[in-house]
Structure 1
Amino acid sequence: MRKPDVIFFNGDVLTMDDSFPQASAVAVKDGMIVAVGDESDVFDWKTEHTKIIDLNGKTLMPGFIESHIHPTIYGSTLLEIDCRPETTPAMEDLLQKVSEEAVKTPEDEWIRGFGWDDSKLVEMRNPTRWELDEAAPNHPVVLKRSCAHMAVANSKALEMSGITQETPDPSGGHIERDENGNLTGLLQEKAQGLLDVPRYDLEDMAEGMRLAQQQFAEWGITTVHDMSTQTTDLQLFQYLQEQNELRVRVRPWIWAIDQNGFDGSLDEVLKVGLRSGFGNDLVKIQGMKFMLDGSVGGKTAAMHDPYVDTEEKGILYNSVEEIHPLMEKAIESGLRVAVHAIGDRAIEVAIESFEQIHNNTNITGMRNRVEHCVMPTVDHLRRMKNLELVAASSIGFLYHIGDNYVAKLGAERVNHLFPHKSFKEHGIVAPGNSDLPVNSGNPWQSIYSAVTRKTSSGQVVEQGEQISVWDALKAFTVDAAYSSCEEQLLGVIKEGSKADLIVLSENPLEVKPDHLKEMKVQQTYLEGDLTFSQSQSYEEVLKG
C-alpha cells in the first residue's frame, strides 16, 4: 500500500546525524525520507498530493528505538493484575487486588500478576505464599516481581506444579525456605520454570500486543528489540503483520537455551538455517539471546564482591566452558549473539567467551552484544572495544531502581554503574534501554538519568559518567539502530532513511536537564503513517 507523501516544515529538526545535526524541514515520499534541509530545498518535492504539516516551531526527531525490552511479556502484563508500586504501594493493596481478582475468576483457574517490588513496598519485603493463600484460597496464584527474576506463588500453585519441600533447587535457581524449612512461595531465577502456569493462546497474546503497541506509540517508540523471543512470539508478530495490525518494528532475539521458564530454540534455529537479518522491514531476526545471571534487586546478579551486609555474590548460570561452545555454534552459523550479563562476574564470563570464539572466528564487525552491561570494569571496556561488542546499557535501571542499587551494592560501586561516558571514551556503542516490563518503557526517564545521573527520588549517583543530551538521544535512536546494523535506515533523519518520526512540543536540547523526564510526544509516525496523536483518540488515529 502506498504511503502518504508529507512535508514537515517550520520546526526544529534533530536529525541525530552528527554530520548534519539540525534542519528546519523534511520531505517524506512513500514512507522514506527524500529531503532534509530548509524549506527552499524541501518544497521542491511538493506535489498536489503532498500533505503539508506546519510544525509551528515544534521539534521533529527520529522515533525512539528500544534496544532491549520484552514486548509480548509486557503485553501479557497488561492482561494481568497490576502489582506495580504506583498501584499497590503496600502489601494490603496488593493482596486486596488478588482477592478482587479471585471473586471474578472461576475456582482452580490461575490468577497472575506482575510488577511488585519489595524495595518499594511499605513493608520492604516479599509477599509470601501464606498471604496469597488467604487472599485467594481456591485459586493458584503467581505474582512476578518487576525484575522478572523472581516470582511468588501460593500453596495451590506450588501443589499443582508438583513443588514440595523436598524439591531440590534447580541449577541456576533457588526455592526459598524459611528457618523451619517451609516453602515461602518465592522462586528465584530458573526455579520459576518449575511452575506449571498455562501459556497464553495466540488471541490473548494478540490482544496484549495491541495494548502494548498503543503505549509504544504514545512513548514515541517505533522499533523494539524483543530479547526473549519464543516460537509463539514469532508467530504472533507474523500474525499481526498478516492482519495489518503490526504498528511497530520488531527485532527478535531468539531465546537460545532452556532457562527461567523459557524454552530454548538454538538447535531448531540452527537446523532450519536462520541467519541474522532474515525477515523484512517490520520483523527482522537479530540472533540468539543467552543469559548468564539474574538481577541486582533480587541479589542474583553475579558479583565478584558480595552484596552489602551479606556474603551473597549472586547466581552465575553458566561457566565459560559451558556457554562458549553454544555461543560459538550460533556465531559460526551466521547468528549474532546477545548475552545478558549484569554483574561484573557475569560480564567477565561473557567477554571471555567471546574472546575464545574470536580466537577461531573473527567476530569484529558482527555487533554482538552484552545486555544490560551494568558493571563493566575498565579492563572489560578495553576488551569489549577490541571485539567491537555493543553495550546494550539498561540506563533506565538508574532512574527506576537506582535507589535499590545503592542499598544492595553501596555508593562506591554504584558510582561506576552504567558508565556511558566511559563507553563513549572507549569507542563502544551503547544503546539505552528500559528492559520493559521490568521498568517503565518511557525513554525520557532513561534519557534524564543518562544526562543527570539521578534516580527517580532525585538521589545523585557519581556524575563523572553523565553524557550530553545529544548523546543520550542517540542512545535511543541511531546508536540503537547500529545495534541491529540499520543505522542508515532507522533512528536518523537523512535521505534514504525510514520516515519513523516523532513530534515534540519542546526541543530537548534547550530545556533544563531536570525537565527531560517530563517531555511528551505529541505525534508519532511509522513510515509516514500517523500512529499516535495527543489530540486524537487511538481509534481515531487508526481510522486515519
Structure 2
Amino acid sequence: MTTAAPVAGPGTWTLVVADRIHTLAGPPVEALVLFDDRVAAVGDPRELHERFRLDRTIEVDGVLVPGFNDAHAHPSMTAENLLHVNCSPEVATDEDVLVRLLREEAEAVDEGQWVVGSRYDHTKTTGGRVVDREFLDRAVPDHPVLLTHVAAHWGVLNSAGLAAAGLADASTDPPGGVLGRNASGGLNGVVYEQALFDISYPSLARGRTAVPPSTPAARLRGLARAQQLFHAAGITSMVDALCGPDDVALLSEAARTGQLTLRVAMLVAFPHYDRIAALGLRSGFGDERLRLLGVKAFVDGACAGGNCLVDEPFEGTDDHGMQTMDDADLRDLVERVTGDGVVLAVHANGDRAIRKLLDAHERARASGAPHRRHRIEHCSLVDADIVGRIRALGLVVVPFGSYARFHGDKLVGYYGRDRLERMFAHRTLLDAGIPVAGSSDYPCGPYEPLAAITSCAERRALDGTAIGLSQRISVHEAFGLYTTGAAYAAGEEHVKGTLAPGRLADFVELGRDPFLVPPGEIVDIPVRSTWIGGRLVHAAP
C-alpha cells in the first residue's frame, strides 16, 4: 500500500520511507529525502528526520528502485496505434479472432475509411503463415485495410488498400523498399520497408501517406493512454526513436499543456535533418521533460521480421535480407550529422548492416568528425570484429531487451541456433566495456522492463527454448541496462539512472525485491506505484 501527503508546491522537503530502497549508487537504504523533484539525501529514516525540516512524508511498504528508462521505443507511434485495432497475439489469439477484430473495426468506421491493425504476429496468430491480400479481401472487402506486422517493417494490404495507395501489378519497388509478389508476379499485398513507410509512416514517407494520420486531439488522447500503460510498467523515461514533425508537435503540445508525464528524448527521422540544421539545434536542446537527443536513420530491415541484412543467408534460403539505405547515402549522412556534432542513432540489426555503418563512422572520424555518443540501435548480430570496431569508435549500443523471450519462437527458424549465440549479445558487449542500454522497441516487443530483465537473465523463449545462453547476464546487469545504461545512452547520467543525491526523484515501487527472487519470477513482480519528480503518476488498484 502506498500513502502520500498531498502534493506540495515549490520548495518542499519530502521524506520517502520504504521496506528497502535500491539506489543503484550504493548499498540498500530505507529512506530518501527529496527537495522538490530531486533526491537530496539517502539513509536511515530516523537520522534523516532529525537532519531535515520535512514538509511531508511518503510511506510505501514495497521495494523502491530507480525509474525504468526505455532507451528505444515509439510512444508517438503507440499513440496512433491505440486509436486503431490491436492485433497483437495477446488479443488476436488465432486467425478467426483476427478476422473478427478487423470486421468489427470495419463496421465501426465510416464508409471508405481505412481499417488499420497493428502488432500482427504471423508466428503466433496465423501459425507461421503470412496473410495476403486475398485473406484480407475475404475478411474486409469494402474498406481499405492495412495490417502492420509486430516488427513494424512490413505490413499487408487488401485490394482496396493497394488501390488507395496507388499500387498495381505494374508498380515498381520504391528505393529502400519492396512490393511483395505472388508466383505469377502480381502484388500479394505485402509491403516492405519504404513501401510501407510511404503508406503509413508520416515521419519517413516521401510524401503524404495513403493512410491519413489521426487528428492532433485524437493523438493526444492516444498518448495519454500510452503513458498510462508505460507508467503501470514502471517506466519514467523513454527515447522516442522515430519522430517526424507531427510527432514533435504532439509531444510539444503535451508538454506545454502539462499532459506529458513521461520524460521523453526525441530522435528525429533523418529526412527532416535539414530543418534541425537550419534552426541550429543540437543534441540536448529542451529540458528534463522533453528534449532533442539526435537523428535516427536506418541501414536494414527487422530482426524479428526476418529481413535484416546478414552476412550468412537466413536458414534454408539464399536471402541475405534488405539494405534500406545505400552505401553512398549512408556515408554522406553519417559524415554530415556527426560532423555537425549531433548525436546519430542508426538502426542496424544484421552483421552486414552493422559493418556498413561502422565503415561510414570510421570514414567520418578520419575526416575529423568530433566524438559524440553516437548509437547503434538494435545491433542485433555481432562478432569479434564488430565488437572491436564498436569499442574503438566509442559507440553506444542499444540492443533489444525482451526479444529472446518474446520473439524466440521465430528467431531459431530465421537464424539457426549457432547465430543466436551472438545475437542480442549483452554478455559479449558488456565484457568488452561497451556502453549498453536496454530497449523494448515497443510496439515491436513488449514494453515491460521487468519482462526484459527476465529475458536477459534467462535467455529462453516463452516455450522454454534456449536462445543463445552464452549471452545471459546477471539481474544486476540487466537492471543497469534500463537505468544507468539508458541514462548514459541519452547523455543524462548526471540526472538519471540512480537515486543518488542530485538525481531526479524518479522511482518505482515493486511488490517484491527483484534481487532476491529467481530471474524467472521477476517478470511477474507487481508494479505498485510509479513516481516522476516525486509525484505519483501510477498507483496499482
Where does residue 520 of structure 2 map in the other structure? 514
How many percent identity over aligned positions? 29
Where does residue 25 of structure 1 map in the other structure? 31
Choose the corresponding residue for 1:193, options 193, 197, 203: 197
- In structure 2, what is the Cα distance between the partners aligned to 1:534 and 1:29? 25
My pick for the range that moved more, 3-12 or 116-125, is 3-12
Deviations 1:276-299 (A, max 9, x none): 000011011001011011113332
Where does residue 270 of structure 1 map in the other structure? 277
Query: Cα offset for 1:328?
Result: 1.8
Choose the corresponding residue for 2:86, options 58, 82, 86: 82
Contact 2:85–2:102 (8 Å) recurs in 1: yes
Where does residue 541 of structure 1 map in the other structure? none
Query: Cα offset for 1:211?
Result: 0.3
Matched, 1:456 2:462: yes
Where does residue 263 of structure 2 map in the other structure? 249
Secondary structure (helix, strand or coil) at the match of 1:139 reads coil
Matched, 1:130 2:134: yes
Contact 2:341–2:370 (8 Å) recurs in 1: no
Query: Cα offset for 1:514?
Result: 1.1
Task: Output the TM-score relative to the length of structure 2.
Answer: 0.94
Task: Please tell me the root mean square deviation across aligned C-alpha atoms, in Å.
Answer: 1.5
Matched, 1:119 2:126: no
1:60-209 → structure 2 map (5 Å cutoff):
60-195=64-199, 196-209=210-223
- In structure 1, what is the Cα distance between the partners aligned to 2:267 and 2:11? 29
- In structure 2, what is the Cα distance between the partners aligned to 1:511 and 1:429? 27
Aligned length: 523
- In structure 2, what is the Cα distance between the partners aligned to 1:136 and 1:319? 37
Where does residue 354 of structure 1 map in the other structure? 361
Query: Cα offset for 1:269?
Result: 1.1
Contact 1:82–1:115 (8 Å) recurs in 2: yes
Secondary structure (helix, strand or coil) at the match of 1:518 reads coil
Which amino acid counterpart does residue 253 of structure 2 have in structure 1? Answer: Y
Where does residue 534 of structure 1 map in the other structure? 540
1:267-416 → structure 2 map (5 Å cutoff):
267-364=274-371, 366-416=372-422
Secondary structure (helix, strand or coil) at the match of 1:53 reads strand
Where does residue 235 of structure 1 map in the other structure? 249
1:29-68 → structure 2 map (5 Å cutoff):
29-44=35-50, 46-47=52-53, 49-50=55-56, 52-56=57-61, 58-68=62-72
Secondary structure (helix, strand or coil) at the match of 1:479 reads helix
Secondary structure (helix, strand or coil) at the match of 2:125 reads coil
Unaligned runs of 5+ in 2: 1-8, 200-209
Matched, 1:5 2:9: no
Where does residue 538 of structure 1 map in the other structure? none
Query: Cα offset for 1:219?
Result: 0.6
Contact 2:16–2:31 (8 Å) recurs in 1: yes
- In structure 1, what is the Cα distance between the partners aligned to 2:186 and 2:11? 61
- In structure 2, what is the Cα distance between the partners aligned to 1:185 and 1:3? 59
Which amino acid counterpart does residue 287 of structure 1 have in structure 2? Answer: G
Choose the corresponding residue for 1:214, options 217, 228, 238: 228
Which amino acid counterpart does residue 143 of structure 2 have in structure 1? Answer: H
- In structure 2, what is the Cα distance between the partners aligned to 1:171 and 1:422? 35
My pick for the range that moved more, 227-236 or 188-197, is 188-197
Deviations 1:83-138 (A, max 9, x none): 11111122221111111111122111111110111111243211221222222222
Matched, 1:525 2:531: yes
Query: Cα offset for 1:69?
Result: 0.3
Contact 1:34–1:495 (8 Å) recurs in 2: yes
Deviations 1:227-278 (A, max 9, x none): 101101111111111111110000000000xxxxxxx201111111110000
Query: Cα offset for 1:363?
Result: 4.1
Query: Cα offset for 1:317?
Result: 1.8
- Cα distance change on mapping 1:363 and 1:23 into 2, 3 Å: farther
Where does residue 204 of structure 2 map in the other structure? none
- In structure 2, what is the Cα distance between the partners aligned to 1:3 and 1:375? 49
- In structure 1, what is the Cα distance between the partners aligned to 2:396 and 2:370? 12
Contact 2:131–2:156 (8 Å) recurs in 1: yes
Contact 2:339–2:370 (8 Å) recurs in 1: no
Query: Cα offset for 1:54?
Result: 3.0
- In structure 2, what is the Cα distance between the partners aligned to 1:297 and 1:40? 51
- In structure 1, what is the Cα distance between the partners aligned to 2:52 and 2:511? 25
Secondary structure (helix, strand or coil) at the match of 1:232 reads helix
